[in-house]
């Protein structure tokens, strides 16, 4: 596992979810399938609202998400920790962009 320090006061530093943040920022505006440790899957269209709270090891994100079978206009604003993600993939090509062993409950 990569070593990171807990977030302190000041500028947001990279935490354990940094690889996920980088993928989401690169794909901003492109649909990305997110599979969660709970088994839930949804499409995320933006991931620009991310941060890391004081004392946390993992980033969190606030994003517009849509259930896989719903139209894009059927979206909700969701908040979740990146520690809960199992994988990210491209819904058009099916290519897996990133996988990780989730650490649900860890922040």
Per-residue pLDDT of the chain (107 residues; tens, 9 = 90+): 567 887 777 777 789 999 999 999 898 888 999 999 999 999 998 756 888 888 889 999 988 888 877 666 667 888 999 999 999 999 999 999 999 998 877 77
The pLDDT of residue 32 is 93
The pLDDT of residue 47 is 59
Residue 33 resides in a domain: yes
User: How far apart, in whole angstroms, are the C-alpha atoms of residue 99 and residue 105?
Assistant: 18
Backbone angles phi, psi at 73, to 5 degrees: -70, -15
Residue 2 resides in a domain: no
Residue 37 resides in a domain: yes
Residue 28 resides in a domain: yes
> Given its phi and psi angles, is residue 10 left (phi above 0), alpha (psi -120 to 50 degrees) or beta?
left
- Decide: helix, strand or coil at residue 48: coil
| The two structure tokens encoding residue 8 | 């302190």
Residue 104 resides in a domain: no
Residue 74 resides in a domain: yes
CATH number of the domain within which 28 lies: 2.30.30
- Decide: helix, strand or coil at residue 82: helix
Count: domains in the chain = 1
């Amino acid at each position: 596992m990569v070593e990171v320090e807990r977030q302190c006061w000041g500028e947001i530093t990279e935490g354990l979810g940094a690889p996920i943040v980088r993928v989401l920022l690169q794909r901003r505006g492109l649909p990305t399938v997110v599979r969660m440790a709970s088994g839930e899957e949804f499409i995320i269209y933006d991931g620009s609202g991310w941060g890391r709270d004081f004392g946390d090891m993992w980033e969190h994100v606030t994003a517009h998400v849509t259930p896989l079978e719903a139209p894009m206009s059927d979206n909700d604003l969701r908040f979740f920790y990146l520690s809960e993600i199992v994988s990210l993939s491209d819904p058009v090509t099916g290519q897996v962009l990133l996988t990780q062993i989730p650490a649900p409950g860890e922040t």
